[in-house]
Amino acid sequence: MSVPVIKAIGPRATPAQIAKALGRCEADVRAIMFPEREEPAPPLAAPNPAALRSWTDTDMSILRLMYCEAGATADACAHALNRTPAATKTQIRKQGLQRTPRSVAA
């Protein structure tokens, strides 16, 4: 607002008084003075508790036994360990686990 308008209506003027002094409608003045708040962001989904659990030595032993020696798939290992398939595949890659070739009985 310009200085003459403030002097004319005072610093504690209501939206109706400001609208009258400016020749605008009160709704326009209220929209400028009190903008609508944006919707709050939806809360984030709760993280999977298993994802927060670190891999223990026991988990790694079971993974090695199932994946390397028994030849189970990463998905089967994930199900047995109550982990996501992506987390299990990541551990297999990080630990450098390789399946042991099975000998064929003749």
At 62 the pLDDT is 92
The answer to whether residue 31 scores a pLDDT higher than 70 is: yes
Q: What is the pTM of this model?
A: 0.51
Can you give the residue range of the structural domain that contains 29?
3-33
**What is the pLDDT, as a whole number, of residue 48?**
67
Query: Total domain count for the chain?
Result: 2
Q: Does some domain include residue 86? A: yes
Asked if 53 and 91 sit in the same domain, the reply is yes
Q: What is the pLDDT of residue 1?
A: 55
Report the distance separating Cα 7 and Cα 62, nearest Å.
Answer: 80
Instruction: Give the 3-state secondary structure of residue 27.
Output: helix
Clarify whether residues 54 and 20 are in a common domain.
no
The alpha carbons of the chain give a radius of gyration, in whole angstroms, of 33
| Cα atoms in the Cβ-side hemisphere of radius 13 Å centred on 86 | 3
Residues 54 and 88 placed together within one structural domain of the fold: yes
The answer to whether residue 26 sits within a structural domain is: yes
| 84 occurs within a structural domain | yes
pLDDT level of residue 40 (50, 70, 90 thresholds) = confident
Flag whether 106 is in a domain.
no
One domain, residues 55 and 25 = no
| Domain presence at residue 56 | yes
Query: What is the pLDDT at residue 44?
Result: 77
pLDDT for 11 equals 76
Calculate mean pLDDT across residues 68-97: 91
Question: Is the four-CA dihedral 25, 30, 33, 35 of positive or negative sign?
Answer: negative
How would you label 18-55 residue by residue, b for 16+ Cβ within 10 Å and e otherwise? bbebeeeeeeebeeeeeeeeeeeeeeeeeeeeeeeeeb
